[in-house]
Amino acid sequence: MEEDIVVSIRELKTHLSHYLQLAKDGRRVVITERGTPIARIVITGDSFEERLRIISASGQAEWSGRRF
Whole-model pTM: value is 0.64
pLDDT tens string for the chain (68 positions)? 578 899 999 999 999 999 999 988 888 899 999 999 999 987 776 677 777 777 777 777 776 767 76
- Reported residue count of the chain is 68
E strand spans, 1-68: 5-8, 29-33, 36-41
Q: What integer pLDDT is reported at residue 54 of this predicted model?
A: 75
Q: What integer pLDDT is reported at residue 31 of this predicted model?
A: 97
Distances in Å between the alpha carbon of 47 and those of 10, 12, 22, 43, 54? 31, 27, 20, 11, 11
Q: What integer pLDDT is reported at residue 45 of this predicted model?
A: 67
